[in-house]
Chain A
Amino acid sequence: MSPEARDRAGPRPAAAAAPHAGADRWAAAAVAARVVVGLAFVLSGFPKAVAPAEEFAAVIEAYYIPGLTEANILALARALPWVEVLLGACLLAGYRARLCAAAALAVLSAFLLSLASVVLRGVALEHCGCFGAALSLTPLQAILLDSVLAAGAVLVLRRKGGNWSLDRWIEAGTPP
């Protein structure tokens, strides 16, 4: 539309502009959520991944999850931190963001179930062990944090990775 034609058409009605602004806000929120969830996953996974697996295994043992044997616990302690790092890196980069957000949501749901189970069973757990030795959170604080992160993962799942993501770059064929 030329500037003259725009002048003749007059100002855009507010109702027409509002949905666009709302979509922009959701897109920005999706980017923020992707970065926050990704960062949280990297920061929680990395200290555990580089520490001896037996350390994290001891944390998992403290949850007294029925059915988990010593061998399973050690295998889980070895794998889970790297899964967190991988998912976090994918979310930060915005690569296969929806898939990674779905996986992150599944991991967060498992964390939330474990934490809720600990609280309900009255297991004496001083700290959740979520961030290894880097940060200490009580089970209730961890439930709150994981719930916020889960909401963020849902947002990414619904809105994709948004701008500034590898997905968008790959789709467009040009850098963001």
Chain B
Amino acid sequence: MGPFKSLKSQYGERVRVVFKHMPWGFHRWSKSAALASECAGRQGRFWDLHDALFTRQAEWAENERAPEVFYSIAESLELEPKAFAECLEDPLAAAAVDADFKEARQRWVNSTPTFFVNGRRFVGGRQLVTEGKREIERLLKG
């Protein structure tokens, strides 16, 4: 996510960023992690939990007790624990993650991360910082 973050900080409010979940089935806890970040989002802390999940991926990716790690991250971010726990059980939160995944498949997204700049596709950080950045510049000038 490094290139994405650097572009986000470079352009700030001049660009609008919309994040979509793409939890791959072959990563055991990816859907639970997506759900946890969705629930953090309900408390306005999506990016904080998202970043923590990526930083601490080694702790939970293959861990039988990954949900405990998610709760521990949520606690360290001082999220409201009851609301967070209820959200994890909320079918609407799970449906939001599923809807993002379905949309990604409909758009032929086969790799993560994939970025769309006003509909134009860039797969991976390298494409984003080269071609993608040029596209953003072009759109901002236009």
Residues on A facing B (Cβ under 8 Å): 51-52, 54-55, 57-58, 61-62, 70, 74, 132-133
Is B72 close to A, CB under 8 A? no
A-B pair count, CB < 8 Å, reads 31
Q: Are B131 and A55 in contact (CB under 8 A)?
A: no
B window 118-142: CB within 8 A of A = 121-124, 126-127, 130-131
Classify the interface of chain A: helix, strand, loop or mixed.
helix
Looking at chain B's contact residues, the main secondary structure is mixed
- What are 10 A-B contacts with C-beta separation under 8 Å? A52-B108, A54-B122, A55-B111, A58-B111, A58-B123, A58-B124, A58-B127, A61-B124, A62-B124, A133-B110
Q: How far is the CA of A74 from the CA of B122 in the complex (A)?
A: 11
Establish whether residues B110 and A61, one from each chain, have CB atoms under 8 Å apart when the complex forms: no
The one of A51, A61, A132, A133 that contacts B126, using a Cβ cutoff of 8 Å = A61
Given contacts A52-B121, A54-B122, contact A70 B110 (CB under 8 A): no
Query: Is there contact, CB below 8 Å, between A55 and B123?
Result: yes
Identify 4 new A-B residue pairs, CB closer than 8 A, beyond the known A54-B114, A55-B123, A58-B123. A52-B121, A61-B124, A70-B130, A133-B110
**A76–chain B nearest beta-carbon distance, Å:** 14
Q: Which chain A positions have C-beta within 8 A of B111?
A: 55, 58
Q: How far is the CB of B100 from chain A (nearest CB, A)?
A: 18
Task: Kindly state the separation between the CA atoms of A55 and B111 in the bound complex, as whole angstroms.
Answer: 7
Q: In the assembled complex, which residues on chain B have CB atoms less than 8 Å from the CB atom of A62? A: 124
A86 to B3, CA, bound (A): 37
Q: When A and B form their complex, which 6 residue pairs have the shortest distance between CB atoms, in order from nearest?
A: A58-B123, A133-B110, A58-B124, A54-B123, A54-B121, A70-B130
Residue in A54, A62, A74 whose Cβ sees the most chain B Cβ within 10 Å = A54
Bits for B20-59, please: 1 = Cβ < 8 Å to A, else 0.
Answer: 0000000000000000000000000000000000000000
Residues of B within 8 A of A57 (CB): 123, 127
Which residues of A have CB within 8 Å of B121?
A: 52, 54
Contacts of A133 in B (CB 8 A): 110
B123 touches A51 (CB 8 A): no
Could you tell me the distance between the alpha carbons of A57 and B108 in the complex, rounded to whole angstroms? 14
The docked-state distance in angstroms from the alpha carbon of A62 to that of B126 is 9
